[in-house]
Amino acid sequence: MLEQKIEALLFLAGRPLSVKKLCDLTDAKKADVEKAAEALVTQYESRTSGVLIQKASDSYHMVTHPDVRSLAQAYAKEEVSGELTKPSLEALTIIAYRGPVTKAELEQIRGVNCSLILRNLLIRGLVEAKYDKPRATTVYDVTHDFVRFLGLAKVDELPDYIKLHDHATLEKLLNPDAQAQQENLPAV
């Protein structure tokens, strides 16, 4: 059971975790953690796995097997430089015109979950996340690098920026109550 826990933690971390950290997280004794971790190392070595658990000084790290190194590199390259999909381009465009925008707003506009798309845009340095204190939430904006890439000094130089930034359609979608109230006013 402790083995299972350590395995899950090493997978989730994706980076080295010290024995001390593993003890804290699993609430187990050092000797037990070390024994379980060593058992994991042996277990991963014994089966022909694409993943290994490496020990370095007093920490453990789940890594890809050296046999598949070139593949791992190809994957990493693909993650950061493959072509952007149409949904990703749409999200990037919305963030450019409408930013700073929350994930929830972006998802309302696109009508689909955007977790993976945002992750990809962040990895590529096209979008940055900031914590918006007044709204107590994370907001997303395009990066300076991306604005410069478009050949602009500021994002509001995008074509029709003023018109599109707070287009009535968006307001209706994101603030339906405010709209409904406005529309009801004359009728009352």
Partner 1 sequence: MHSVKVHTFEGPLDLLLQLIEQEELDISQVALAHVTEQYLQALEKSDNISAEDLADFLVVAAKLLLIKSRILLPQLAVEGAEEASDLERQLKIFKEYLDASRGIAKIIHKRRFTFGRGKPAVMIEEKFSPPEGLEMGTMRELFLAVLRDIEPVIALPKAVIEKTVSISEKIEAIRALILDKALISFKSIMEDAKTKTDVIVSFLALLELVKQRSIVVKQGALFTDIAIHRLDSPSET
Within 10 A of 17 (CB to CB), how many other CB atoms are there? 20
Nearest CB to a second copy, comparing residues 68 and 180:
68
Q: Which residues bind a second copy (CB under 8 A)?
A: 1, 3-9, 11-15, 25-26, 48-51, 62, 64-65, 67-68, 71-72, 74-76, 78-79, 107-108, 111-113, 115-116, 119, 122-125, 128-129, 143, 145
DSSP code of residue 119: H
Q: How far is the CB of 130 from a second copy (least distance, A)?
A: 11
**Is the CA virtual torsion 19, 20, 25, 31 positive or negative?**
positive
d(CA 109, CA 66): 43
161 C-beta neighbours (distance < 10 Å), count: 14
Confirm or reject binding of residue 148 to partner 1 (CB under 8 A).
yes
Residue 111 Cα distances to 22, 85, 87, 121, angstroms: 40, 16, 11, 18
The least CB distance from residue 158 to a second copy, in Å, is 22
Q: Which residues pair with 131 in a beta bridge?
A: 138
Q: Which of residues 87 and 100 has its CB atom nearest to partner 1 in the complex?
A: 87
Would you count residue 92 as binding partner 1 (CB under 8 A)? yes
Contact map string, positions 72 to 91, toward partner 1, x by CB under 8 A: xx-xx-xxxxxxx-xx-xx-
Q: Taking Cα atoms as reference points, which of 53, 60, 13 lies closest to residue 33?
A: 60
Residue ranges that bind partner 1, judged by CB under 8 A = 11-16, 52, 54, 61-66, 69, 72-73, 75-76, 78-84, 86-87, 89-90, 92-94, 96-97, 108-113, 115-116, 119, 122-126, 143-146, 148-152, 158-160, 164, 167, 169-175
